[in-house]
Amino acid sequence: MANNKQQIKRNIQNEKHRLANASFKSSLKTAIKNVEVSAANNEKEKAIENLNLAYKKLDKAVAKGIHHKNFSNRQKARLSHKVNSL
């Protein structure tokens, strides 16, 4: 347990950031899954729409420092390949 005020405050901030990051990661995973499901069902328009949302979330994750840029680029390439194959 923290003994001084600074560390107590830092622990509270860390917990808030952890919850926010977890929520964002979950929404990112959902966006990626939506693209994959749309591609699997051969719904090209819906897949493209979901792909744009996934791109936006992946870029935002890199900007926020939640994911590495290589992870984001790899996911974008993988998803775009699935959509373009329709």
How far lies 34's CA from each of 3, 23, 51, in Å? 46, 17, 8
At residue 3 the predicted structure's pLDDT band, cuts being 50, 70 and 90, is confident
* Count of domains forming the chain: 1
The pLDDT score that the predictor gives to residue 41 is: 96
**CATH code of 73's domain:** 1.20.58.110
pLDDT in tens, 27-86: 999 999 999 999 999 999 999 999 999 999 999 999 999 999 999 999 999 999 999 998
pTM comes to 0.88
**Residue ranges making up the domain that contains 24:** 5-84
Show the tokens assigned to 7. Answer: 């560390």
Gap between the Cα atoms of 5 and 52, Å rounded = 44
pLDDT, tens digit (0-9, with 9 covering 90-100), for 7-30? 999 999 999 999 999 999 999 999
The contacts of residue 82 (CB under 8 Å, 6+ apart) are 35, 36, 39, 47
